[in-house]
Amino acid sequence: MLDEAERGTRGSLIRAGAAVAIGVALALACLPLGVYPKLACAVLDAGCPPGSPAGDLPRVTRLTALQAAQSGAYVALGDSYSSGEGVYDLDREPVNEGADRCHRATGSYVPLVAKTYRFGGGTAFYACSGATTRQLLAGQHGQPPQISRVGPGASLVTLSIGGNDAGFTKVLTGCIVKLPWSSACVDQETAVNRRIDELRTSVLRVLRELRVRAPQARVIVLGYPRPFPQDPVDTVDNLSAADQRWLNGVTRRLNDTVGSVVKDFDRTIAAFGAPGSAEYVDAYEAFSGHEVGQPAPYLNGLAMEVGELRVNARSYHPTGDGYRRFAELIIKQIADGPGRPLNNLQLSQPTPG
């Protein structure tokens, strides 16, 4: 028979072993370090705040997709389709530091998302017009890299990226300035496809870096809308119907490439039972019925600076209605989640009996 001292020693060892086992499990689940004092109180009967009951383990609950997104900070990154380039000219003053160079606008989808949900860590808006995947990681216009704005407290990251890597603006310009009977537009196909294929590596690099910086975050990547009607019949901005169909096809290939990388990355997260997610929102059909050339387009058509023969940057970027449509897609994705249970967990102190 064990005497009382021996029973106490054995009980302490058992509790210590349990604490270590639970601690390892929580570490593998990437739970915040702040849970360990609670475990020490519950398992070891040590370090308990005055008046706190000891011996009961904190309750572990799985967060819903919406709870996970709202639990920390919302950080908005990306290129001109996220910054608000298409409506930047309407702003009277920049929304924050560097916004005048990056053309961040209050009419982007980001402020609309921020108004819809309450994020525990607030909202940080740092998308930058013209950004490539490399510039997102390395910096642009003398500003800190967008990626540096993401920390462990981020619970939601949204971005659109890849269009500038594919050289979409240059491709579109080449299509517009060609001679009407020229095939210069579709002649770009080989170079465009090569750049799109290279996106697989660069988008994966962005996702990995986001994962390192914010392992609990839901990362939502927004695709690009089809710029022209599915079956165009009229010439628009010197773009024949064939040119428009080809540019639609380029957009589809770009979206499919980025989307496949994001989906594969999320499958890896889920396979390891890790928190957070990588989610892709396919916006290809989002502007259906409102493409360039339609009566109420959600994309600006070709805009020229009068007297300068210069294309305004808002050309072929979303209008206010376009960004509101983007906001609808993101807001819905935040609520719906990645289509699988998240492994974001939360500990709560048990209620005294």
Q: What pLDDT, in 10s, does the model give residues 83-100?
A: 999 999 887 777 778 878
Same domain, 70 and 52: no
**Any domain includes 205:** yes
Same domain, 48 and 172: no
Same domain, 36 and 172: no
Same domain, 96 and 187: yes
Same domain, 146 and 9: no
Task: Give the Cα separation of 71 and 102 in Å (integer).
Answer: 28
State the total domains in the chain: 2
Q: State what percent of residues in the chain have pLDDT above 90.
A: 60
Same domain, 258 and 167: yes
What band does 185 get if pLDDT is binned at 50, 70 and 90? Answer: confident
Q: What is the span of the domain harbouring residue 40?
A: 4-57
Same domain, 15 and 41: yes
Give tens-digit pLDDT for 236-289: 888 889 999 999 999 999 999 999 999 999 999 999 999 999 999 999 999 999
**Any domain includes 352:** no
Question: For residue 27, what pLDDT is reported?
Answer: 47
Query: Strand, helix or coil at 209?
Result: helix
**Any domain includes 345:** no
Same domain, 284 and 237: yes
**Any domain includes 110:** yes
CA angle, corner 292, sides to 289 and 293, nearest 5?
85
Same domain, 26 and 73: no
Give, to the nearest 10 degrees, the angle between helix 241-271 and helix 189-213: 30
All residues at 6 or more sequence positions from 107 whose CB lies less than 8 Å from its CB, including other chains? 84, 86, 87, 88, 90, 91, 320, 323
What band does 323 get if pLDDT is binned at 50, 70 and 90? Answer: very high
Element of type H or E holding 245: helix 241-271
Same domain, 194 and 144: yes
Same domain, 177 and 312: yes
Q: Is the pTM of this model over 0.75?
A: yes
**Any domain includes 118:** yes
Check pLDDT > 70 for residue 300. yes
Burial of 189 (0-12, 13-18, 19+ CB in 10 A): middle
CATH number for 89: 3.40.50.1110
**Any domain includes 341:** no
Task: Give the Cα separation of 103 and 130 in Å (integer).
Answer: 9
Task: Give the Cα separation of 259 and 18 in Å (integer).
Answer: 42
**Any domain includes 343:** no
Same domain, 52 and 70: no
* Residue 320 near residue 87 (C-beta atoms within 8 A): yes
Longest dimension (CA), the chain: 100
Mean pLDDT of the chain: 85
